[in-house]
Amino acid sequence: MSQQNETQSRDTLIIIPTYNEADNIVKLIPHLLGLEEQVDVLVVDDGSPDGTAASVKQLQEKYGDRIHLIERSGKLGLGTAYVTGFNYALERSYQYICEMDADFSHDPDDVPRLIRKVREGNCDVAIGSRYIKGISIINWPLSRLILSYTANLYARVITGLPVRDTTAGFKCIARKVLEKIDLNKIRSNGYSFQIEVHFRAYKAGFTLKETSIIFRERTEGVSKMSKKIVFEAVWMVWVLKIRSIFGVL
């Protein structure tokens, strides 16, 4: 996919990183495109052996330039996938950039709510939150629920972020936020990537607001969670905090 600037009239880009999401992506993309006329979708696929990229190309034949695809050579990580997508959006004229998973853990019907909050000027980053109204998670084992809730509390206390769901990967971001924060300085590549984006946006003076969503554990495919991802999040919050204190964020 060419990275050169191209003419596009729609103002919103939804970035979806994928690895082995062929079954989900063929259902998700048509649903998203049916919700908002101003929305395009960008799939950043990390060389999925299940043919995810091929499925996206088939959808492109039907929906044309509303679907974009970047194929990468292998599993390069969530953070780099989103940074690639952010740069893609900035090279074009998209004003609102969304993040979401491909596995329907994020309800596509919530996307217009997030976009609307930013488009109407209520905030600069609208976050789909699992923890703003108690705990809104379905089908997680208790152990993972405790880990996630504790990790978010830990990150919030250390960084001072005014966000309950610091690791939320479902959001809409105003273009000006991505233009202001230096994407080249982002170092996180797992779930701590979300903490880092929130932290950099907050420290740059932008407004972050959460809106409650229902998060459902995936019913198809395999979770990408690992010990490496957890450990990265544990130390990354300290790196961000210390860098912020010394003004080298």
Question: What range does the domain containing 134 cover?
Answer: 12-245
Q: Please indicate, yes or no, if residue 190 is contained in any of the structural domains.
A: yes
- CATH number for the domain spanning 152: value is 3.90.550.10
Residue 3 placed within a domain:
no
**Domains: count for the chain:** 1
pLDDT tens per residue, range 85-101: 999 999 999 999 999 99
Asked if residue 5 belongs to a domain, the reply is: no
The pLDDT value given to residue 7:
61
The model's pLDDT over 170-215, given as tens digits with 9 standing for 90+, comes to 999 999 999 999 999 998 987 799 999 999 999 999 999 999 999 9
Residues 106-137 pLDDT 10s: 999 999 999 999 999 999 999 999 999 999 99
Q: Strand order of the sheet with strand 67-71?
A: 67-71, 39-45, 12-18, 96-99, 171-174, 125-129, 208-212
Burial of 3 (0-12, 13-18, 19+ CB in 10 A): exposed
Q: Of residues 6 and 139, which shows the higher confidence score?
A: 139
In a domain, 7, yes or no: no
Handedness of CA 149, 151, 154, 156 (dihedral sign): negative
Residue 90 belongs to some domain of the structure: yes
pLDDT, position 90? 98
6: in domain? no
Distance CA 138, CA 216 (A): 5
Whole-prediction pTM: 0.92
